[in-house]
Amino acid sequence: MVDVQDLTGRIAVVTGASRGIGEASARALDAAGARVVLIGRSVGDLDRVASGMQNQPIVLPADLSARGAGTTTAQAVLDLVEGVDILVNNAGIPMRRTPSQLTEDEFDEVFAINVRSLLMLTVGLSDSMIERGGGSVVNVSSVAGINGPVGRVAYAGTKGAVDAMTRALAADWGPSGIRVNSVAPGLIATAIWEESRQNVPGLIEDLQDGIALKRWGVGEDVADVVVFFASDASRYVTGETLVVDGGMARVGTSKVKLTELDD
Ligand SMILES: NC(=O)c1ccc[n+]([C@@H]2O[C@H](COP(=O)([O-])OP(=O)(O)OC[C@H]3O[C@@H](n4cnc5c(N)ncnc54)[C@H](OP(=O)(O)O)[C@@H]3O)[C@@H](O)[C@H]2O)c1
């Protein structure tokens, strides 16, 4: 029987591979057989992740915040490998600001990494995918782009943009064999939550209450879905967003029991 999740011989690029969801995704792609290019700024962490991988991983230090960074990083990738089959656009930063707190510089900062570099890196690698007969782009968005979170208007905007670009790119590149999908994580216990964990006592427990499965996610919960989208298991799926949140954004978790309500 053919293993449709086998990625042997494929070359994958993962941004933000130095920790969290990106680290778990890089490890899962490697375990499925892919050779992985790991991108991020923290060289020590990238080396740590790569050292536990088996298929000749490549560490490519890059800062995706500046104008032009997506394009130059794509070129740097193509200088290192003969082509790309899988791109996981995972690098991202949070931006917790109310509408009145948010400055224009902060707006630009979060859109530069979460949206602009993501798109330009993808465009920069698309010809290589087409030359190899197609490929799979997996964008990491967020339930924040779907459910209207409080105090995170700019971050939510970036993630909504990622899901919209996912559908648009799927239309542009479907005829060339490139599939483009996004994974929208819910609450995943990574470093991205560190500031909130320290500043808002009880927040972690309160948020957990709103998850149907009653636990926070871990990077591997998202990584397995990334492998699904990267692999031939999802060969007839493109332009989709799959929510990975244990039942939160679109699942009712109200404590009020229906039997307690008047009809
Ligand atoms: N955790 C959650 O609950 C959650 C929920 C929904 C969506 N997400 C999304 O999932 C993705 C990963 O988040 P995470 O939770 O794993 O966060 P994380 O642990 O903070 O990891 C973020 C990654 O992005 C990289 N990165 C940040 N700025 C960068 C830059 N300027 N250039 C290059 N790389 C950069 C970081 O690498 P370096 O520091 O080494 O550069 C790091 O590897 C993000 O897009 C986030 O928005 C997370």
pLDDT tens digits along 18-63: 999 999 999 999 999 999 999 999 999 999 999 999 999 999 999 9
The ligand 1 atom nearest the CA atom of 23? 43
- Report the atom number in ligand 1 closest to the C-alpha of 69: 32
pLDDT grade, residue 252 (50/70/90)? Answer: confident
Q: What is the pTM of this model?
A: 0.96
Q: Which residue has the higher pLDDT, 1 or 83?
A: 83
Residue pair 228/136 in contact by the 8 Å Cβ criterion:
no
Nearest atom of ligand 1 to the alpha carbon of 21: 16
Determine the pLDDT at residue 258. 54
Domain ranges of the chain: 11-190+218-243
- Distance (angstroms) between ligand 1 centre and the Cα of 219 equals 11
Residue 120 CA to residue 60 CA, distance in Å, equals 17
**Active-site annotation holds for 236:** no
Asked if the model's pLDDT at residue 263 lies above 70, the reply is: no
Asked if 144 and 156 count as a contact pair (C-beta separation under 8 A), the reply is yes
Reference 186, options 151, 212, 157; nearest CA is 212
Options 111, 155, 216, 228, the catalytic residue: 155
Residues 87 and 15: their CA atoms lie apart, in Å, by 8
Interatomic CA distance for residues 111 and 119, integer angstroms:
11
- Ligand 1 center to 167 CA (angstroms): 22
Distance CA 65, CA 234 (A): 31
Q: Determine the pLDDT at residue 260.
A: 55
CATH class of 11-190+218-243: alpha beta
Does ligand 1 have an atom closer than 6 angstroms to the CB of 167? no
Q: Which of 48-57, 86-95, 251-260 has the lowest mean pLDDT?
A: 251-260
Pocket probe for ligand 1: among 93, 115, 158, the residue whose CB has the most ligand atoms within 8 Å is 93
Q: Is the CB of 192 under 6 A from ligand 1?
A: yes
Q: What angle do CA 199, 201, 204 make, to 5 degrees?
A: 100
CA atoms within 13 A on the CB side of 6: 6
Average pLDDT, rounded, for the chain = 95
DSSP type of residue 192: G
pLDDT of residue 30: 98
Left, alpha or beta for 146 (phi > 0: left; psi -120 to 50: alpha)? Answer: alpha
Of residues 198 and 77, more confidence is placed in 77
Q: Which ligand 1 atom is at minimum distance from the Cα of 192?
A: 20
How far apart CA 133 and CA 127 sit, in angstroms, is 10
Residue 261 has pLDDT above 70, yes or no: no
Distances (CA, A) of 66 to 7, 109, 135, 145, 232: 32, 9, 26, 23, 34
What separation in Å is there between the alpha carbon of 91 and the centre of ligand 1?
4
Whether 14 is in the pocket of ligand 1, judged by its Cβ within 6 Å, is no
Looking at residues 86-94, what average pLDDT do you find? 98
Please work out whether the CB of residue 89 comes within 6 Å of at least one atom of ligand 1: no
